[in-house]
Amino acid sequence: MNVESVRADIVEIGRRMYSRGYTASNDGNISVRIAPDRLLMTPKSVCKGFMTPDMMCVTDLTGKKIQGDRDPSSEMLMHLEVYRQRPDVKAVVHAHPPTATGFAVAGIPLDRAVLAEVLTTLGSIPLAEYATPSTAELPDAVRKYIKAHDGMLLANHGALTVGGDLFSAYYKMETIEHFAKISLVARMLGGENLISREEVVRLQGLRGTYGIQAPAPICLDPDVPLGPGQTAQVVVAGGDDATCQTVQAPAGSGSRLVPDLIDARRRGAGDEAEIRLTYRELSALIEDAIRNLR
Ligand SMILES: [Zn+2]
């Protein structure tokens, strides 16, 4: 691997993250595996928009600095944990993109079956538990999901993505933020229609056609029988660590898009409808009812 060009790529990705507003001030960090036990990592306390190739640190997989004038990222422990858990991962990107981080702050994972390209690339984007940044708590929170996911939200903090190379890890960060913006707009407009479970299975089958390596299959509820011709692997998550991805996708009974009934009910539809009344209107209704009783 040409380490000089990796240094330049990290500088470029840092610029893109900063210019897109994914990081403010010195937030965020990037690392790349340049040899089986060597990482090239952004340093502590620098703005990702203004890095130079010489600023990067080389560390081993225990976090020991091998080369570089500066200290490695304050989130190094999280990066090390990812490389330990995922031998296939060659790059890790962490940032605080505002819309995705807004979901992370609101405690809402991006796990609804809404966009085909998200389902085929990332699958589901879970929400890792809150952990104090830069402590050993953060790798613990990330460990639960990293085996089965290439991207996740970090509660009240930001987002993390990984990939087989730096650009693919970074593009997943773009996908998460884009998905978060679309989800937010759809919810403001009254809620999403969800892609049906059957269609999710079909999309998962297309991953091979697109040449997409997904980290794990989508978990299917084993109680729901597969349709004819559907051969998706049924995996049930075991233990503490997720081994498959959970996607919210209702059964479609023939239709590929399904209204989000939970949200629709909350918003008020049909018999479950909510109505709003002023105190004056409510008092008038009660007075009417009492008058009718007399
Ligand atoms: Zn952070």
How open is the CA angle 240-28-162, to the nearest 5 degrees? 45
- Cα 180–Cα 138–Cα 40 angle in degrees, nearest 5: 85
Q: Give the chain's count of helices (H) and strands (E).
A: 9, 10
pTM for the whole thing? 0.83
Three-state SS annotation for 29-80 = EEEEEEECCEEEECECCCCHHHCCHHHCEEECCCCCEEECCCCECCCHHHHH
Active site residues: 75
**Ligand 1: centre distance to CA 96 (Å):** 6
Alpha carbon distance 198, 96 (integer Å): 33
Pick the closest to residue 53 from 74, 65, 67 (CA basis). 67
Give residue 229 CA to ligand 1 midpoint distance, Å. Answer: 44
Tell me the per-residue pLDDT of 122-147, one tens digit each, with 9 for 90 and over: 989 999 999 998 898 999 999 999 99
Question: pLDDT tens-digit profile of 64-106?
Answer: 999 999 999 999 999 999 999 999 999 999 999 999 999 999 9
- Percent of the chain's residues with pLDDT above 90: 62
> How far apart are the CA of 238 and the centre of ligand 1, in A?
29
156 within 8 A of 105, measured Cβ to Cβ = yes
Residues within 5 A (CB) of ion ligand 1:
158
Q: What is the pLDDT of residues 188-240, one digit of tens each?
A: 998 999 998 888 888 888 877 776 766 677 776 555 555 544 444 333 333 45
